[in-house]
Chain A
Amino acid sequence: MEQYKLFINNEFVNSENGASFEVIDPGTGAPIAEVQKAGTKDAQTAVQAARHAFDSGIWSGLTPAQRLAKMLDFADQIAQQGLRLAMTESMNAGHIMGLAKVEPLLGIGFTRNMSNYMATKFPWTEEVPCSGNVFSPGRETIRRESLGVCAGIIPWNFPMTMAFWKIIPALAMGNTVVLKPASATPLTALIIGEAAKAAGIPAGVLNIIPGSGSEIGKILCTHKDVDKVAFTGSTDVGKRIMQMASETIKKVTLELGGKSANIILDDADMDLAVEGAVFGTFFHQGQICESGTRVLVPAGKYDEFVDKMKKRTEAIRVGYQLDGNSHMGPLVNGQQMATVENYVRIGKEEGAQLVTGGKRITIEGLEGGFYYAPTIFADVKNSMRIAQEEIFGPVVCVIKYQDDDDAISIANDSIYGLGGGIFTSNPKRAEHIARSVKTGTMWINNYHVFSDMTPFGGYKQSGVGREMGAAGLHEYTQIKRIHMPTHSDKQTNMNFSLMSDNKKIEGFAYIAPTRLMVGKGVLTAIHKVVTDLKCKRALILTDKGVKQAGLAAMVENALIDFCVGMYDEIPPDPDLAAIDAACAYARDVQADCIVSVGGGSVIDSAKAACVTLTNGGTANEHLNLMMLQGPQMPHICVPTTSGTGSEVTNIAVITSNGAGRKLFIADPWITPNAAILDPKMTVTLPRMMTVTTAMDAMTHAVEALTSIMSNPVCDGHAIHAIKLIQENLPIVVAEPGNEKARLNLQVAATMAGWAFTIAQVGLAHGMAHSLGTLHHLPHGAACGIILPKVMRYNVDHATDKLASVTQAMGVDTRQMDPREAALAAADAIEALMKSVEHPLSLSGQGVKEDDLLMCAFHAIADTATLFNARPVNDPNEVFELYKQAF
């Protein structure tokens, strides 16, 4: 009789306690080999060998290309053992020769395909271009690494294939393996061990220890040096393995039982369906977990189907597995025979009709073999035990159903969800049903088809995780993320600042890509800008007020032939529906460029529209921060106010009715490509709008200057913007047609925009946003009224910066101490506002005092408030500021 030993640390050894056991040929019942029986100590030795091999890096430290080379050698050695593997599998596991002879080929292909994918396509490392964390920018890399020591525990039905499925992915991904084959069928796994040794797979990388599941299984599932357990077998054992493995939080993949439904539709080719049902159930004597052991047949075809299936089944030749004429071989052993007989008895007791089979078969000369007739039960109710419990033998239940929904319901009425089939001539119907059945694999007009590159595994109690395919390889790795910040400086780390009193952020990244065209009559340059952007179909986005003022027509005229339309429905405080409507119009006219003509609402709408048009879907899907990965649809701005700064910023503010507040898109990729500052576009702006939008710009500048994110570049923009507003706003109020003063205000607004798009704003904006969201107060007016109060609130946290505001406002601070100079800034702003008749109180704008507390809670939660010079944590403080402004 052949002798087989344990394979541990590259050697074939006897068990430590000298125990052995015999394995039989189920076709004869006779023993064919004696196998050393691993005990607890052998299991521990194997785990240690695997652990040492992994930790040494001799395998896990190879590059994917190096490991591929060794795996191809392994595949070659498996090929060398091909005939022996096939014969041994047939003799030990009862596989008919037609099946056994292809299994080594499948194993070789699996080894090559998995290893090739591992080395050439598997994403071992990935760069994450947009992490979604705007507070800690930097480089984000994902690495996938081997897990470690992987225990594989496999069943007796497909011992060679199951060995390949556990060994190959684990090894390919750089792990080491301890494999416990089923005690009934360990031989082919050990031959694979011989192939591994011959291929030069390093010692300890693969270990194979046949032995008692209850003894070895416990060691493998609880040993601290085992990192993963991959099990195929019964659901009860799988549950216990999962429990045991949980003690040391091992990764676990389980492939467990099934009671799959093979659904025959009323339009199926009947002969094909019968063949599929027979193959789906009786192949390999029904000892396959994903077998279609519930065949669902429509009521109108039931009798015909059962009759045909009976005839086809009775033509199956059951015989010795090495006899080339056999269609079905023996069951694996006597215990499995007893299980099948038990369930056949239960089926009869439950009232199912035994159509054929239901008995042992005795073959002359092979009286010791375990042959069972393929068995059909009809008139089965899905609630019967024979329909709910997996028999794992050649027994099928044929169940009647009324319509497609009934079939789906019956198919899903199982604790399992492993496989399933549909036989039909209607692919659309098949696809609908396939999607509706809760199972891991659905075959249409076929059954029992596996492919190396497609995943296999179960829903519900059929298992956890997947084998094969890319998904299977992923199960043998773990993920590491490596973060490296843009700045390695404690004063530029926003996270660290949470535990520091010094909130000032020093480092910065300055990104300001907008092409700025400035001057009287520069609108005519827009034509060139469009061609430089390689566009041909410019859509003007604007609002009714701007259109009525004739400004949009001026732009349309300047665009000459490039203008394909004008959409003038942008409302003040645009919401997501407004953006979607603009996008629909843009798609209709096939715009390839957006020209926004208007104030902040129009420009922000255009930014959101460009993102939505570029990436598809609705505007709501794109309310994200720093998630874009490239240029968006080209956008040219023609501002008609002097306040928003949106023509150069990386932010679009949109009202979300669902969220009940304004939300943002913030991303350098939404910064407009170009901005045209022509005083002809603002010279007719009414006095109140001129004044309030200028205060919006002033607020941008002052808050950028005092923000915790302020920096020297933006400070320069901010200070000069303040100076320009201080000097030119009174002139424009007195002489509305003064184009030079108008242009200076436009430039101030743009410079303030550059300042705050990098340095951010602060509490004044947080408070103004709340007033805008809850009470529709125009943004500029709200900012102006609130700004001086916030400046005083911040005085001790931005003293020097506020003093520079005072100086930019033209006030002589030489006789003031620093705090006095800082406080004087708010006074100067208020003086300017009075001189141009800017609103000075919220009550004058229709805001009710009762509304202020709710505004305070909203303002605290506003993103802008995060960057305020003075930390803002108490809503009562904000409430007080609102009251001051009331």
Chain B
Amino acid sequence: MPVFYVDSQTVQKIQRFLAQKGLACCVRVEIRSSGCCDAALGLMAQEAVETDIVEQHDSLQIAMPLDIYQIVGGITISSSDDETPQDYFLTSEKPLNEWSGFAPCSINIY
């Protein structure tokens, strides 16, 4: 059973972004804070580690740490039509909190 649900438009958008930055074609789910209460799911441009759950979507590798999967379950990644960088919406089978999916996130590069 897939863990990541991502439409093709979103896959292509992520691929284009990573290619523009000259990065490997892989993203990893993280829990990140943007200040105050209610952390959110986000994406980072990072390769999977051994214990991650990994899936391939086209040439894009999507990974998630196991402990995050245990908290939130499967994840849907969508995006809006325009090209603004900060517009990926992540929702999960078990919402991280009541604001899940409300605000978009960007792909962070650390």
Residues of A within 8 A of B (CB): 155-157, 182-184, 212-214, 217-218, 232-237, 239-240, 255-259, 287, 289, 332, 334-336, 338-339, 342-343, 385, 389-392, 416, 461-462
Contact = CB atoms under 8 A, between A and B. Distances in A.
Contacts of A217: 99, 102
Interface stretch (B11-19, B20-28, B30-38, B55-63): B30-38
Contact of B35 (A256, A336, A338): A256
B37 A155 contact: yes
Nearest to B34: A236
B107 interface: no
B32 to A, nearest CB: 7
Contacts of A334: 71
B47 to A, nearest CB: 14
A323 to B, nearest CB: 24
B100 interface: yes
B103 A236 contact: yes
Interface string B64-105: 000110010000000000000000000000001111111111
B110 A157 contact: no
A423 B37 CA distance: 27
A390 B31 CA distance: 12
B37 A287 contact: yes
Contact of A182 (B32, B33, B98, B105): B98
B37 A234 contact: yes
Nearest to B32: A389
A233 B110 contact: no
Contact of B36 (A183, A343, A390): A390
B36 A233 contact: yes
B39 to A, nearest CB: 4
Nearest to A287: B37
6 contacts: A157-B37, A213-B102, A233-B36, A234-B35, A237-B102, A390-B34
A289 B36 contact: yes
A759 to B, nearest CB: 61
Contacts of A392: 33, 36-37, 39
B38 to A, nearest CB: 5
Contact of B99 (A237, A332, A391, A416): A237
Given A214-B98, A335-B96, A239 B103 contact: yes
Specify which of A234, A332, A343 lies most central, judged by the most chain B CB atoms within 10 Å of its CB.
Answer: A234
Nearest to A349: B110
B36 A235 contact: yes
A234 B67 contact: no
Nearest to A211: B98
B45 interface: no
Given A236-B105, A237-B102, A335 B39 contact: yes
A338 B71 contact: yes
Contact of A234 (B31, B34, B68, B110): B34
Contacts of A462: 35
Specify which of B30, B36, B100, B101 lies most central, judged by the most chain A CB atoms within 10 Å of its CB.
Answer: B36
A332 to B, nearest CB: 8
Interface residues of B, number: 25
A448 to B, nearest CB: 15
B40 interface: yes
A380 to B, nearest CB: 16
Specify which of B30, B39, B68 lies most central, judged by the most chain A CB atoms within 10 Å of its CB.
Answer: B39
B24 to A, nearest CB: 19
Contacts of B34: 234-237, 257, 389-390
Given A217-B102, A257-B36, A392-B39, 5 more contacts: A183-B97, A214-B101, A233-B99, A234-B37, A342-B31
Contacts of A239: 103
A63 B31 CA distance: 50
Given A182-B98, A239-B103, A155 B36 contact: yes
A582 B98 CA distance: 69
A629 to B, nearest CB: 45
Contacts of A183: 97-98
Nearest to A212: B98
A234 B34 CA distance: 6
Contacts of A236: 34-35, 40, 103-105
Nearest to A257: B35
A860 to B, nearest CB: 48
B96 A234 contact: no
Contacts of A212: 98
Given A236-B40, A237-B102, A240-B102, A339 B31 contact: yes
Contact of A385 (B99, B104, B110): B110
A342 B102 CA distance: 22
A391 B31 CA distance: 11
B71 A213 contact: no
B78 to A, nearest CB: 14
Contacts of B37: 155-157, 182, 233-234, 287, 332, 336, 392
A617 to B, nearest CB: 42
A197 to B, nearest CB: 26
Nearest to B35: A257
Given A335-B96, A339-B31, A342-B30, A218 B36 contact: no
B73 to A, nearest CB: 13
Contacts of B99: 213-214, 217, 233-234, 237
A462 B110 CA distance: 22
A218 B89 CA distance: 15
B100 A234 contact: no
Contacts of B97: 183-184, 213, 335
Given A183-B98, A214-B101, A258 B71 contact: no
Nearest to A390: B35
Given A233-B37, A236-B105, A339-B39, A214 B100 contact: yes
A218 B98 contact: no
A217 to B, nearest CB: 6
A381 to B, nearest CB: 14
B46 to A, nearest CB: 11
Contacts of B35: 234-236, 256-259, 289, 389-390, 416, 461-462
Contacts of B39: 234, 335-336, 339, 392
A39 to B, nearest CB: 13
A395 to B, nearest CB: 11
A684 to B, nearest CB: 79
A157 B35 CA distance: 13
Nearest to B91: A214
Contacts of B30: 342
Contacts of A338: 31, 67-68, 71
A51 B97 CA distance: 30
Given A257-B33, A339-B33, A234 B38 contact: yes
Nearest to A343: B33
Nearest to B30: A342
Contacts of B32: 389
A510 B59 CA distance: 85
A289 B39 CA distance: 13
Contacts of B36: 155, 157, 232-235, 255-258, 289, 390, 392
B86 to A, nearest CB: 9
